Structure 1
Amino acid sequence: MVSMGMPEVAIDGEVVESDPPRKLVQTYRFLFNETTKSEGFTRLTWEIE
């Protein structure tokens, strides 16, 4: 991807909560360019049944 002009790190985020095997909460943001970077973090919650 770097050869195509993409940064070495394309996605940034963290695990906010983990309750195996039921729940996982993460944040992430894309670092493709300044526009996507400035959009901030998205919060994603996985609830597994």
Structure 2
Amino acid sequence: MGEAMRRFAALQSHLEEGVSLVAATRAADLPIPTAQRWLSRYRLEGLDGLKC
């Protein structure tokens, strides 16, 4: 799985199922600031924003 898809998978429940970002980050064992940064990049650039 590519880096962008791994990052998207961590955000997917928040984006597609309405799970809170806090709950999604806990499930993915991810710091909230990192998830917020990835979410912002995803909203601006789509999957391309999750590559870096």
> Structure 2 length normalisation: TM-score?
0.24
* Structure number, greater radius of gyration: 1
Which structure: greater strand fraction? 1
> Structure 1 length normalisation: TM-score?
0.24
Higher RCO, 1 vs 2 (CA within 8 Å, ≥6 residues apart): 2
